[in-house]
Amino acid sequence: MFESIRKWRRERVLKVAAIPDPLWQEALEALPFLDPWTDAEIARLRDLAVLFLDAKSIIGAQGHEVTPLQRVVIAVQACVLVLNLDLAYYDGWESVVVYPDEFVPGWEWEDEAGVVHRNEEPMAGEAMLRGPVVLSWPDVAASADWDTAGMNLVIHEFAHKIDMQNAEANGCPPLPAGMSVPAWRATMAAAYADFCARVDRDEELAIDPYAAETPAEFFAVLSEVFFADPALLVDEYPDVYAQFARFYRQDPAARAPSARERG
């Protein structure tokens, strides 16, 4: 019975909270990395974005007013990661907070000597454990077009959220039955060690060197590459690509470059 209530509720939300066509088209135009997606995938992405917006609040901070287009642009990119998974990967937290610019996080932490520190560095985005996703709107807007930005802030922060579904972000999200945790860890550790060595050698890299910060950042940055520039990940770290394709249940590199024509 619960399953039928869930289904009924889902159908109702899709009908009542549908994204109007002009707004949807405008959002897609802001996200050119979705051009190769098939019509069927785009249609499912649209439904998922509606359900995401029903489940989460998107709130402006420091006077920032979140427009309908901003809501959809954020929701669509959050849903790119879970298209073939489940929105349940985003359970356990409520909201997305949008700032008018980079922000200084309010949290403090205590070191081993008991000294309390505060981060004064402005940030473009942050995913808080069991808390909100925080985003600077100008950084979301600037990174919507992968070809010019070479990064995608929304995918990055939501990859952290998926990683945090089992504990603090560590680069190993909860894997489905049938995927091996040791195999995942071994693949990621080998690629991470190689990437860090390349950063240390000052190699010119096509992947953002920020990925060398921690295994959690490596997972988040490579998730951006997986969705927005899949051929690059196949070239650089094919074993990681293969693990991600199994985990996310998507094969973005196989999408024909012009499978979808914009209406």
Judged by CB under 5 A, the stretch of 20-28, 67-75, 147-155, 217-225 that binds Zn ion is 217-225
The nearest distance, CB 178 to Zn ion, in angstroms, is 28
Write down the least CB distance from residue 220 to Zn ion, Å. 5
For tokens 């889902």, the residue is: 10
Place of tokens 């996703």: 133
Q: Does 222 bind Zn ion (CB under 5 A)?
A: no
Element (H, E) at 231: helix 230-236
Give min distance, CB of 252 to Zn ion, in A: 20
Category of 67 on φ-ψ map: left (φ > 0), alpha (ψ -120 to 50) or beta:
beta
For Zn ion, the closer of residues 56 and 161 by Cβ is 161
Contact window for Zn ion (CB under 5 A) among 28-36, 41-49, 144-152, 211-219: 211-219
139 vs 217, beta carbon nearer Zn ion: 217
Of 24, 23, 84, 86, the C-alpha closest to 51 is 86
Nearer Cβ to Zn ion (216/245): 216
220 is a site residue for Zn ion (CB under 5 A) = yes
φ, ψ dihedrals at 97, nearest 5°: -105, 130
Residue 111 — left, alpha, or beta (φ > 0 → left; ψ -120 to 50 → alpha)? beta
Q: Rounded to the nearest whole angstrom, what is the least distance from the CB of residue 154 to Zn ion in the complex?
A: 12
The Cα–Cα gap between 133 and 139 comes to 14
Question: Which residue number, 224 or 229, has a Cβ lying nearer to Zn ion?
Answer: 224
Separation of alpha carbons 80 and 123, rounded Å:
23
**Window contacting Zn ion (CB under 5 A); options: 93-101, 191-199, 214-222, 230-238:** 214-222
Question: What are the residues binding Zn ion (CB under 5 A)?
Answer: 217, 220
